[in-house]
Structure 1
């Protein structure tokens, strides 16, 4: 009796989300059971085919459960978590690229400084200069 009152006091979106979750989990379980039965019969027929099908069934069931959890969270109004691994990885790659660019720039500038010291200026006399600088 106490449990029934709690269920009745929930808001309408919570009840809808709960019903959707129940439908999703039952669909996932029934799909998983039927696929597992198919895999078992295939395993009896050929061992190699059954091993591949078993791996595929496990992967499909895991993906279905993951999607069901994401769907339930979306129905409940929860936002997905930030992909911290991706963000940290992108930051590290950006830092590595920045470090490489800075090192290349420093090397190019030091080469230019050394080359500037080696430049020798030559005074050239040009006969019949139109500007009249020679005379």
Structure 2
């Protein structure tokens, strides 16, 4: 009795999202069971094919669960979480590239300054025989 009162007080979108979630879970579960049964029968036929099928079933089931969870969250009105690891790694890669570009620019600038710094010296030759000091 206590559980039914709580379920009745939920809003209509929450009840619809819950029903959709239950439907998704049962669909994924039945699909996973049928694929596992197929994989088991394939395993009897050949071990190499069965191993590949089992790997495929595992990845397909994980993908189905992930998509079902995303669908439930979308129906419930929740936004997906930010991919923090991707954002942090992109920031670190950007910082490393910036540092490398800055270092390369400073190195190129210092090499360019060394080549351009030719010092001209004025030499006074008081009694030059050629008369160049004129």
- TM-score, with structure 2 as normaliser: 0.86
Paired position in structure 1 for 2:22: 22
Partners of 1:29 and 1:86 in 2: CA distance: 31
Alignment RMSD (CA, Å)? 1.4
- 1:5 is displaced (CA, Å) by 1.4
Partners of 1:117 and 1:58 in 2: CA distance: 68
Paired position in structure 1 for 2:81: 81
1:55-94 superposed matches below 5 A: 55-94=55-94
Relative contact order, higher structure (CA 8 A, sep 6+): 2
| Residues 70-105 of structure 1: CA deviation (Å, up to 9, x unaligned) | 111111111111111111111111111111111111
- TM-score, with structure 1 as normaliser: 0.86
Partners of 2:97 and 2:10 in 1: CA distance: 52
- 1:113 is displaced (CA, Å) by 1.2
Find out whether 1:114 has 2:114 as its counterpart: yes
| Residues 23-58 of structure 1: CA deviation (Å, up to 9, x unaligned) | 000000000000000000000011110010001001
Runs of 4+ with >6 A deviation: none
Partners of 2:49 and 2:77 in 1: CA distance: 42
Unaligned ranges ≥5, structure 1: 121-135
Paired position in structure 2 for 1:130: none
Unaligned ranges ≥5, structure 2: 121-134
Partners of 1:9 and 1:67 in 2: CA distance: 28
